Amino acid sequence: MIKRIFISVLFVSLFLTFNNAFAQSNDYRVRKCFQYERDSCPNSGNIYYKYNSESRSALFLKGQTSRFPLSIYNGRDYRISICWDFNLGNRLEFKIIDADTDNVLYDNSTDEFASEFEFTVAQSRDVYIQIKVPGTNELIKNQEAEDLIFVRKDQEMGCVGVLVEHMITPSKGF
């Protein structure tokens, strides 16, 4: 009886091992862009900063621009870090845009393309974080072309992560 149970467990574990080894995936590590911001973006060294659940990760094409909403609150400090796959280039553009007025509140292209930005919020508001990957790709260039059948992921696509951290603003003065 024990021998039969052992053989059954061995068979199931071998099946699962081979099944996982040959399963299809977009990444050899299995989860490519899922929680990329947690795995790849540098965390603050400040122990008071906490992970903000509005952090995001996505697959981007060269030349693509995308944005997502973020609510920021008075009395909090925020730290935004961006990170990306090396095949997207050596810099990304990111902006913080007021959701009501479309005014640009921060633009990293005027800050030497910094990949981190910390700020204190004086007035609660909704903003957008806009990410732009410089460059072009065959898909964007040939959107109308019917002869384009694929885009190489290893050259034209990559993960982008936006890590948002927050903490209560420390008191100022003595």
CB-based contact 44:78 (threshold 8 Å): no
Q: What is the mean pLDDT of residues 112-122?
A: 96
Say which CATH number the domain at 39 has.
2.60.120.380
> What pLDDT is recorded for position 171?
87
Is 2 part of a structural domain of the chain?
no
> What pLDDT is recorded for position 21?
40
d(CA 4, CA 68): 55
Q: With bands split at pLDDT 50, 70 and 90, how would you rate the model's confidence at 140?
A: low
> What pLDDT is recorded for position 4?
55
- Using alpha carbons, list the distances in angstroms from residue 58 to 20, 33, 47, 64, 116: 24, 6, 27, 11, 18
Is 148 part of a structural domain of the chain?
yes
Residues 43-79 pLDDT 10s: 999 999 999 999 999 999 999 999 999 999 999 999 9
Is 23 part of a structural domain of the chain?
no
Give me the helices (H) in the chain, please: 2-21, 36-40, 138-141, 153-156
82 closest CA partner among 15, 149, 36: 36
Mean pLDDT over each residue of the chain, to the nearest integer: 83
Is 8 part of a structural domain of the chain?
no
d(CA 62, CA 156): 6
d(CA 119, CA 98): 15
More confident residue, 142 or 152: 152
Q: With bands split at pLDDT 50, 70 and 90, how would you rate the model's confidence at 139?
A: low
Is 173 part of a structural domain of the chain?
no
More confident residue, 119 or 29: 119
Burial class (CB in 10 A: 0-12, 13-18, 19+), 134: middle
Domain count, the chain: 1
Range of the domain at 50: 31-168
Residues 122-137 pLDDT 10s: 999 999 999 999 987 6
> Does 36 have pLDDT greater than 70?
yes
Q: Give the pTM.
A: 0.76
Q: With bands split at pLDDT 50, 70 and 90, how would you rate the model's confidence at 142?
A: low
CB-based contact 120:53 (threshold 8 Å): no
Residues 6+ apart with CB under 8 A from 174: none
63 conformational bin, left if phi > 0, alpha if psi -120 to 50, beta if neither: left
Is 81 part of a structural domain of the chain?
yes
Give me the helices (H) in 34-85, please: 36-40
Q: What is the mean pLDDT of residues 93-106?
A: 97
Is 147 part of a structural domain of the chain?
yes
Is 4 part of a structural domain of the chain?
no
